[in-house]
């Protein structure tokens, strides 16, 4: 009997997660890797269903990501947006002419009754990406931000208001109605599961929705595989996005340590950047294995290196409850 | 008491109609002109509500029409279509990146409950076009073509199958549920109505839907204003579109005379092109006033000239039933 390949599950938000996803996809086979993307910041805009994190992961894996912007497609044009502006349309959310095709096809297939998993698989196949990426669930969940400007839908907060409002809390609407995506559930229950890697994504609005899908936390506690996370906070700052600002507003220290504390007993290992080397001891004091490495992914090699470091790190620490 | 301005109503399909509409808009004030566009070839595609004739009229009046294509916007780009093709999307109907904005805004406003008249007015305003253009009705009507390939929705026949199928008949689905657009109804009943001009559009699939909206034929018969039509058939051929081919398939001679006969006692006057001068006598023998002129509109001046000719012609013939 052939021994079953190891299986690694990566939980990803947008930009930072997508970079590590690229590294993992380079060093693992298609069967060995399942990437699970946050879909709680998906929204319907101009009649189009937009899945920012799934798309960022997809464009990065397809090698067509717009590296300057950090989202969208390279060589993008903006004729649609310009004309939309002339027509007094809602132009606060930038949709490139190429990017529009993704949302249009997805919206049409959803209207035809296909689920987001199948649609995602179809889009990946068309872009020639042989990596298994699934949404955290097939149902619609939407992050709502409680702020000093009132309750804002996530993209209203994130894009339209550019993360300016002060966040007091957040909720994932309809998360209780969501069902863990079947491949995700199967992978977490798989005896061959070797590690769960929480990518360097926003712990609150990118990772927490995935963890909050009913059954996910329980499955993560049940698995004997180690769960490790890569800190999205480096030197007290997020490389991108409002994670550090939100930590401050939520009354947490802006530090990698606070992220490790936030994940609590869910994680067995934590990866921090070299600039935070002095935090290693206090993180280990939390009962979490901790390694220090260069974690900023600028080049393709950086992504591959961090992927290998995460995989080796997981292999060398015991999973929780073992 | 100030005498009320004369009122002219023009019935228009796409390209040819739009050109005459431009001429009429040049020589008449905003209050004097109402352009009514066919909406029976409107359709929903990729989730977008597309109104080809309304848009062609709008882009022509805004002076942003793509003169090479005869439809769409000048300086258009095709990034969306190219990406759509890569994603295996339905790419048989060409949607330019700029043009997409029109359909997106319209679809969104329709979803918000606005009617097509108000949406059209909003789009025209945004494009800076001070001309009154209304759809024939606010309800959805769809032309169905009976062909040797079976029943085809109009755009399937017109665009996807490039008018190749042989047409045996056609219907306007749901036309019986349509209500004549209120401004259109008011203009036809207006004492100041000076003329109804049927533009050089396809008599079957562009003009006939407008005439078939419940109440339109009756109103045209009731008005004392002359109704005149400009022949879309010149030298036995249509300048654009399948009108001549359809006449042949429907068992009619391919001639301007046959168009005049088709309109029958609905019209009081008929404008034919110089190349068809020899048909003038046989058309007049039908009991319809007929003038011969250069009717091909290549330049802006051609459009203005034909508009003036139509207005003068109408002013010089008595309306029916007078």
Residues of chain A positioned with their CB less than 8 A from the CB of B76: 79
User: What pLDDT does residue A71 have?
Assistant: 87
Site from A80, A95, A103, A109 to mutate, B interface, most B CB atoms within 10 angstroms:
A80
Q: Do residue A89 and residue B77 have CB atoms under 8 angstroms apart?
A: no
Nearest Cα of chain B lies from the Cα of A49 at a distance, in angstroms, of 11
Q: Do residue A76 and residue B77 have CB atoms under 8 angstroms apart?
A: no
Q: Strands, E, within B58-149: which ranges?
A: 132-135, 142-147
Structure tokens at B98: 């700029």
Domains of chain B: 7-316 (3.40.50.10680)
CB pairs < 8 Å spanning A and B: 104
- Condensed to tens digits (0 to 9), the pLDDT of residues A43-90 reads 999 999 999 999 999 999 999 999 888 889 999 999 999 999 999 999
Q: Distance between CA B35 and CA B108 in Å, rounded? A: 24
Q: Do residue B98 and residue A80 have CB atoms under 8 angstroms apart?
A: yes
User: What pLDDT does residue B239 have?
Assistant: 87
Q: Do residue B47 and residue A100 have CB atoms under 8 angstroms apart?
A: no
Nearest Cα of chain B lies from the Cα of A99 at a distance, in angstroms, of 7
Q: Distance between CA A46 and CA A86 in Å, rounded? A: 15
- Condensed to tens digits (0 to 9), the pLDDT of residues A170-193 reads 999 999 999 999 999 999 999 999
**Burial per residue of A192-208, b for 16 or more beta-carbon CB atoms within 10 angstroms, e otherwise:** ebbbbbbbbbbbbbbbb
Q: Distance between CA B80 and CA B100 in Å, rounded? A: 9
- Condensed to tens digits (0 to 9), the pLDDT of residues A139-148 reads 999 999 999 9
The vertex-B145 CA angle with B139 and B151, nearest 5°, equals 105
Nearest Cα of chain A lies from the Cα of B179 at a distance, in angstroms, of 27
Q: Distance between CA B311 and CA B290 in Å, rounded? A: 14
- Condensed to tens digits (0 to 9), the pLDDT of residues A254-291 reads 999 999 999 999 999 999 999 999 999 999 999 999 99
- Pairing relationship of beta strands B237-238 and B233-234 according to DSSP bridges: antiparallel
Q: What percentage of residues in chain A have a pLDDT greater than 70? A: 98
Listed in sequence order, the residues at least 6 apart from A274 whose beta carbon sits closer than 8 Å to its beta carbon are: A292, A293, A294, A295
Closest-CA residue of A relative to B82 is A98
| CA-to-CA separations, B33 to B6, B30, B187, B230, in angstroms, rounded | 9, 6, 9, 17
Q: Do residue B86 and residue A107 have CB atoms under 8 angstroms apart?
A: no
Listed in sequence order, the residues at least 6 apart from A126 whose beta carbon sits closer than 8 Å to its beta carbon are: B86, B87, B88
Interface of chain B toward chain A, CB-CB under 8 angstroms: 46-48, 73, 76-77, 79-84, 86-90, 96-102, 104-105, 107-108, 111, 122-123, 126-127
Place of tokens 């109503």: B9
Site from A44, A62, A87 to mutate, B interface, most B CB atoms within 10 angstroms:
A87
Interface of chain A toward chain B, CB-CB under 8 angstroms: 46-48, 73, 76-77, 79-84, 86-90, 96-102, 104-105, 107-108, 111, 122-123, 126-127
| CA-to-CA separations, B93 to A123, A244, B72, B130, B159, in angstroms, rounded | 20, 46, 12, 29, 7
Q: Distance between CA B3 and CA A265 in Å, rounded? A: 85
CB atoms within 10 A of CB B184: 24
Q: Secondary structure of B232-287 in the HEC alphabet? A: CEECCEECCCCHHHHHHHCCCCCCHHHHHHHHHHHCCEEEEEHHHHHHHHHHHCCC
Interface predicted TM-score of the whole assembly (ipTM), two decimals: 0.89
Q: Do residue A83 and residue B89 have CB atoms under 8 angstroms apart?
A: no
User: What pLDDT does residue B92 have?
Assistant: 94
| Tens of pLDDT, residue by residue, chain B (322 residues) | 444 678 999 999 989 999 999 999 999 999 999 999 999 999 999 999 999 999 999 999 999 999 888 889 999 999 999 999 999 999 999 999 999 999 999 999 999 999 999 999 999 999 999 999 999 999 999 999 999 999 999 999 999 999 999 999 999 999 999 999 999 999 999 999 999 999 999 999 999 999 999 999 999 999 999 999 999 999 999 988 899 999 999 999 999 999 999 999 999 999 999 999 999 999 999 999 999 999 999 999 999 999 999 999 999 997 664 4
Task: Walk across the sheet containing A289-293 and list its strands.
Answer: A132-135, A33-37, A7-12, A193-198, A227-230, A269-273, A289-293
Query: Does residue A63 contact residue A43 with C-beta atoms inside 8 Å?
Result: no
**Where does the pLDDT of residue A318 fall: very low under 50, low under 70, confident under 90, or very high at 90 and above?**
confident
B80, B101, B111: residue with CB nearest A84: B101
CB atoms within 10 A of CB B179: 12
Q: What are the residues facing B290 on neighbouring strands?
A: B270
Site from B87, B108, B118 to mutate, A interface, most A CB atoms within 10 angstroms:
B87
Closest-CA residue of A relative to B73 is A83
- Pairing relationship of beta strands A7-12 and A33-37 according to DSSP bridges: parallel
A46, A47, A97: residue with CB nearest B97: A97
Closest-CA residue of B relative to A101 is B84
Nearest Cα of chain B lies from the Cα of A130 at a distance, in angstroms, of 15
User: What pLDDT does residue B4 have?
Assistant: 60
Query: Does residue A136 contact residue A37 with C-beta atoms inside 8 Å?
Result: yes
B46, B97, B127: residue with CB nearest A104: B46
Query: Does residue B142 contact residue B42 with C-beta atoms inside 8 Å?
Result: yes
User: What pLDDT does residue A322 have?
Assistant: 47
Average pLDDT (A122-136) is 98
Q: Do residue B127 and residue A73 have CB atoms under 8 angstroms apart?
A: no
Q: Do residue B79 and residue A77 have CB atoms under 8 angstroms apart?
A: yes
Q: Do residue B84 and residue A107 have CB atoms under 8 angstroms apart?
A: no
Q: Do residue B105 and residue A84 have CB atoms under 8 angstroms apart?
A: yes
Residue B192 per-residue DSSP state: T
- Condensed to tens digits (0 to 9), the pLDDT of residues A213-236 reads 999 999 999 999 999 999 999 999
pTM for the full predicted model? 0.91
Q: Distance between CA A32 and CA A230 in Å, rounded? A: 19
Residues of chain A positioned with their CB less than 8 A from the CB of B79: 76-77, 79, 96-98
User: What pLDDT does residue B255 have?
Assistant: 96
Q: Do residue B126 and residue A87 have CB atoms under 8 angstroms apart?
A: yes
């Amino acid at each position: 009997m052939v021994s079953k390949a190891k299986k690694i599950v990566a939980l990803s938000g947008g930009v930072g997660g997508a970079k590590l996803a690229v590294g993992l996809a380079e060093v693992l086979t298609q069967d060995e890797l399942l990437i699970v993307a946050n879909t709680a910041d998906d929204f319907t805009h101009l009649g189009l269903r937009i899945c920012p994190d799934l798309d960022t992961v997809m464009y990065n894996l397809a090698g067509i990501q717009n590296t300057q912007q950090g989202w969208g497609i390279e060589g993008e044009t903006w004729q649609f947006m310009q004309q939309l502006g002339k027509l007094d349309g809602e132009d606060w959310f930038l949709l490139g002419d190429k990017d529009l095709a993704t949302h249009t096809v997805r919206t049409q297939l959803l209207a035809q009754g296909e689920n987001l998993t199948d649609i995602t698989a179809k889009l990946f196949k068309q872009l020639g990406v042989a990596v298994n990426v699934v949404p955290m669930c097939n149902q619609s969940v939407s992050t709502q931000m409680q702020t000093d400007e009132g309750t804002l839908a996530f993209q209203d907060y994130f894009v339209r208001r550019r993360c300016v409002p002060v966040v007091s809390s957040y909720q994932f609407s309809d998360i209780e109605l969501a069902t863990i995506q079947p491949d995700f559930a199967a992978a977490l229950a798989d005896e061959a599961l070797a590690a769960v890697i929480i990518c360097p994504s926003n712990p609150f609005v990118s990772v927490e929705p995935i963890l909050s899908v009913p059954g996910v936390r329980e499955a993560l506690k049940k698995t004997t595989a180690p769960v490790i996370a890569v800190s999205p906070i480096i030197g007290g700052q997020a490389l991108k996005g409002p994670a550090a600002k939100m930590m401050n507003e939520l009354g947490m220290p802006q530090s990698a340590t606070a992220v490790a504390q936030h994940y609590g007993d869910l994680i067995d290992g934590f990866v921090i950047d070299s600039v935070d080397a002095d935090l290693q001891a206090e993180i280990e004091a939390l009962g979490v294995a901790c390694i220090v490495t260069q974690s900023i992914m600028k080049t393709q090699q950086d992504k591959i290196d961090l992927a290998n470091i995460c995989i080796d790190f997981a292999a060398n620490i015991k999973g929780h409850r073992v």
